[in-house]
Structure 1
Amino acid sequence: MQTHTLLRRTAAGLGLAAALTVAVAGTASASPAAATAAAPAPSFDFTDCPAIPAGADAAQWKCEVLTATGSLKLGNRTLPEFAPMTITHAEGPMPGGSKGQVWGALRSGPTAVPGGLFGNPAGDRGPVLGLSVQPEYGGRSDFYSVGDDMGLFTLRYRVLSPLLPQGCVIGAGDAPVEIRLKRVGKSERISKNPPVIKFAAADGSFAVPAAEGCGPLGKVLNDKFGLPAGTGNSITLSALYTFRTYDQLPPR
């Protein structure tokens, strides 16, 4: 886990919880009561909530859990729907009054890449030529929002194939993929108690470096993916978000 205190921002800077709540308040969609009655609130797992800094007020710190799926384009390969991804982090005021954040975890599974390793239309169905990518935390995040800009987080994509070594990664070392999400449309409150908010977000302006640590087939992989790719990459998310303050979490 990595603890980091953010520099002070302008008054427009909001944590993810506050930003999404403001977005919900501004929408003309159904009332919270109607939304709650329409469907039961989904369940969330808070076991990845990180420890908060010493001296922090548990009642003012939130553990925030976001689950999402969507589409992803890396170079010239598109994943129409990637495996569900869950991101957990905490945020709140530091004892001195500045804004703080603590990373929790990113959990996801592998997603098959259409065309497999060599771009063959049947390649993703072959056990040897098949190819998958799995996201991992890239080491840096900032979930304080300004308007529709929802902060940033960095990702590495582990490339999985029987023909590639385990260390094959897109965004390895000091060059992870940097995602800066922007909210698309209005947020929708699914449930008031517990708080659950649904929203969409996207980024189509990030760069993707070449894969590294991929052995003799590394050049083939990068050529087939069109990597490195400074433009043309994109991610769209359909997400559900919730939080609990630390005084509501069970003791550990």
Structure 2
Amino acid sequence: MRSVSTRTRVGTLAAVTAFGALFSTGTATAATQLNGHWGPFGRCPVDAPAMLAADGVDTVATCISSGSAGGSIKLGNTVVTTGRTDLQLGVLQRSDGTTGLVAPSEGALVADSATVPGGLIGLMCPSNIPVVSAVCKQITDADLNRITATIEPAGAPRDFNMGAAFTTDVPILTLPVRIHLKNPLLGDKCYIGTTSKPVLLQPKNVTAPSLSLQRFAGNGDPDDENGVMGRYSFAGADQADTSFAVPGASGCGAGLLDWAVNLKTGLPSASGNNNVALDDTSTYFASPYAPAAHAPEEGRELSRFWHSAAR
């Protein structure tokens, strides 16, 4: 791992770790089961054309995996406890210090669904407003009451700051997102934030992670002396953002229930009233230990090693 500096690698890793902190809800997707130190990288897009094209000198292809058992997100008056998260990406590290991100075909992030406390009853019932009270009367079982929240991308990340990845309390990047509220009575188009007016998250490190390095064989077996692969492991980092504003809901109950969701949730909500946190992340970063030794086939070698570890 020498043709791109350790500082560049660690900065990219910390930024992507924060990326994972933001996407705290979603739908779990099966990953390929991999042997040994390859274990955390079951969704790395090693066969994406951009990854395969990496030559190991001007561009190095790497795998990122970042996960946490839980965290929370507060939007206005509503706090949702989040479950397990799993962020995986391919990263292209260029010799000029710039980077590119490559997502798996199913998306970079999968996670356990997060349930909104109180469900639909907690969100808008009881009410003496006819349209809302009519909805409340239809909530006859747990399935109709249950609301899940899914954070989805709402634009391309921007404002990447490599230096911020090495410190705390400095935004690493800006990430536009929207929150999809799912419930049969709200319909399938109920969102907080839109692609034209997204929630703009700016994650920062709250605590610095501890760092260790493992070398391993191409098939994942540990090999501290001669392993062709290297893996940085980061543990114990917390990330957060308390600076973002949240717009009102839209599309809830074909738009008829937007105001009810906003009233109970406290939306729109100005900066300082909202926060997102991901606790005790475990993040891994893997590429050939000496990328230039695999030139000009570094990306293809990474893919070959990854496939050799499949169980």
- TM-score tier after normalising by the smaller chain length: 0.7 to 0.9
Please state how far the C-alpha of 1:171 moved relative to its aligned partner. 1.9
Which one of 115, 118, 134 corresponds to residue 115 of structure 1? 118
- After superposition, the Cα gap between the structure-2 partners of 1:55 and 1:165, relative to the gap in structure 1 and judged at 3 Å, is same
1:125-146: per-residue Cα shift (whole Å, max 9, x none)? 9332222101222332256532
Question: Does the CA-based 8 Å contact 1:113-1:130 persist in structure 2?
Answer: yes
The amino acid of 1:212's aligned partner reads: S
**Pair 1:145 & 2:144 matched:** no
Q: Larger helix proportion, structure 1 or 2?
A: 2
Q: Larger strand proportion, structure 1 or 2?
A: 1
- After superposition, the Cα gap between the structure-2 partners of 1:197 and 1:41, relative to the gap in structure 1 and judged at 3 Å, is farther
**Pair 1:195 & 2:263 matched:** no
- Percent identity (aligned): 24
The amino acid of 1:241's aligned partner reads: T
The total of aligned residue pairs comes to 221
Mapped partners of 1:249, 1:13: distance in 2 = 19
Q: 5+ unaligned residues in a row in structure 2: which ranges?
A: 1-6, 17-35, 127-138, 216-230, 288-298
Please state how far the C-alpha of 1:89 moved relative to its aligned partner. 2.7
Question: Does the CA-based 8 Å contact 1:134-1:157 persist in structure 2?
Answer: yes
Q: Which moved more, 1:203-212 or 1:85-94?
A: 85-94
**Counterpart residue number, 1:205:** 243
Mapped partners of 2:232, 2:120: distance in 1 = 42
Q: After superposition, where does 1:74-85 map in structure 2 within 5 Å? A: 74-79=75-80, 81-85=81-85
Q: 5+ unaligned residues in a row in structure 1: which ranges?
A: 1-10, 21-39
Please state how far the C-alpha of 1:98 moved relative to its aligned partner. 5.6
1:114-166: per-residue Cα shift (whole Å, max 9, x none)? 12224269999933222210122233225653233332333221101121111
Match of 2:284, SS?
A: strand
**Counterpart residue number, 2:285:** 243
- After superposition, the Cα gap between the structure-2 partners of 1:121 and 1:225, relative to the gap in structure 1 and judged at 3 Å, is closer
Q: After superposition, where does 1:92-171 map in structure 2 within 5 Å? A: 92-94=92-94, 97=96, 99-104=98-103, 105-119=108-122, 126-142=142-158, 145-147=162-164, 148=167, 149=170, 150-171=172-193
Coordinate RMSD, CA, aligned: 3.5
Question: Does the CA-based 8 Å contact 1:94-1:100 persist in structure 2?
Answer: yes
Q: After superposition, where does 1:3-152 map in structure 2 within 5 Å? A: 15-17=11-13, 43-49=39-45, 51=48, 52=50, 55-58=53-56, 60-68=60-68, 69-79=70-80, 81-94=81-94, 97=96, 99-104=98-103, 105-119=108-122, 126-142=142-158, 145-147=162-164, 148=167, 149=170, 150-152=172-174
Question: Does the CA-based 8 Å contact 1:15-1:91 persist in structure 2?
Answer: no
Please state how far the C-alpha of 1:180 moved relative to its aligned partner. 1.3
- After superposition, the Cα gap between the structure-2 partners of 1:54 and 1:139, relative to the gap in structure 1 and judged at 3 Å, is farther
**Pair 1:217 & 2:271 matched:** no
1:219-248: per-residue Cα shift (whole Å, max 9, x none)? 111111111112210011122211222443
Mapped partners of 1:205, 1:70: distance in 2 = 17
Over alpha carbons, which structure has the higher Rg? 2
Q: Which moved more, 1:214-223 or 1:190-199?
A: 190-199
Question: Does the CA-based 8 Å contact 1:67-1:86 persist in structure 2?
Answer: yes
| Greater RCO, 1 or 2 (C-alpha within 8 Å, sep 6+) | 2
